[in-house]
Amino acid sequence: MSYTIGDGMVTFALAGSIIGYLYMKHESRQKRIEIIHQERMAAMEKGIPLPEFPLEPARERRQPDPAVLPILGTVLSSLSVGAMIVLALTLPAPSHAFWVAPLPLTFLGVGLIAFHFLQAKPGR
């Protein structure tokens, strides 16, 4: 394999952007900690008690959306059935047997839809 200068530039740009993102994230966290420290020092000088709080706010756990599974199942099934139809109609005779290649995605989509309806609560 021979790599070009363009490949190296893309690699360096990608690595630089990842390092830049991590640096900016670190700097913003440091700035936030510094501001919190200054606020607490000013409150201590004035004699105002401050409650303890975590540096990182707690993340809220959301309930999973029940509509995701049937939507994903429908999308996977419809795209793979459409791909099978296109492949069956356009492939030349020697490779005509490859029209079944998207079949696992069809089964995955149907399985997701079936799982959604099997896990449904009776009151829904």
Rounded Cα gap, residues 67 and 120, in angstroms: 11
What average pLDDT score do residues 63-92 get? 93
Confidence of residue 54 (pLDDT cuts 50, 70, 90): low
Total count of residues recorded for the chain: 124
Confidence of residue 55 (pLDDT cuts 50, 70, 90): low
pTM: 0.52
Compute the CA torsion angle 14, 16, 17, 18 (nearest 10 deg): 90
DSSP string, 60-122: PPPPPPTTHHHHHHHHHHHHHHHHHHHHHHHS-GGGGGGGGTTHHHHHHHHHHHHHHHHS--T
Rounded Cα gap, residues 2 and 24, in angstroms: 35
Three-state secondary structure call for residue 56: coil
Residue 62's φ and ψ, nearest 5 degrees, are -90, 155
What average pLDDT score do residues 44-56 get? 76
What average pLDDT score do residues 27-44 get? 88
Q: Computed over its alpha carbons, how large is the radius of gyration of the chain?
A: 27
